[in-house]
A and B are shown apart, each in its own frame.
Chain A
């Protein structure tokens, strides 16, 4: 198993550009999430999905879109990049929802995004 994979590892964008961060998992997990990690702050949830075709907003969804057409893939789209979106982005997956108490999320290696 490759686990959770993310591409690219690094990306530099200019303000206003759009791009898609890719995330894939090969563990057949229903639950997938996108987080951002900023200095001095804990991980914050952007969007999540409880299965193919079902997504919902997390804590900081503005400026990001997601879709879940397959169980394996959960891409994150930046619609019009802003310097405030400079961050490290992590994708995670789990076999159980958090509200069942099985919180063993598997995280990808992250994408470091800089917006100039």
Chain B
């Protein structure tokens, strides 16, 4: 899972395997969560989101699981491909401060996924 510090967690898998990337979030009041993929030298790319009233959501080859009891989020990638190699990070949304309606997103540092052919 993600952690504070300069060294990101890493996950290495073989092509075709399933990957599970974990994220522990901090705010029990967060009501919306997003997973992003960031390839080297590029901006983050939205993968999938989930609201706090759900515990599972599926996309194409990806599934996000939410466990609010332990404040844990996971991203499962089925049949991982070399093109999936990237940094994956989660974000949690809480209400903005000072009465603003603009929610505050808090981003994790990420996990490096490497897929070997």
Contacts and interface: CB of A to CB of B under 8 A. Distances in A.
Interface of A: 4, 39-45, 48, 50, 56, 59, 90, 92, 97-99, 101, 103-110
Interface in B79-117: 89, 91, 93, 95-96, 100-110
B88 to A, nearest CB: 12
User: What is the predominant secondary structure among interface residues of chain B facing chain A?
Assistant: loop
Contacts of A59: 104
B107 A43 contact: yes
A103 B32 contact: yes
Contact of B42 (A42, A56, A103, A109): A109
B49 interface: yes
Contacts of A108: 43
B70 to A, nearest CB: 20
Given A103-B46, A108-B43, A110-B43, A39 B6 contact: yes
A98 B93 contact: yes
Contacts of B32: 98, 101, 103
Nearest to B7: A40
A92 B49 CA distance: 17
18 contacts: A40-B4, A42-B107, A42-B109, A43-B107, A45-B104, A50-B102, A98-B32, A98-B93, A99-B103, A101-B31, A101-B32, A103-B46, A103-B49, A103-B91, A104-B49, A107-B45, A109-B42, A110-B43
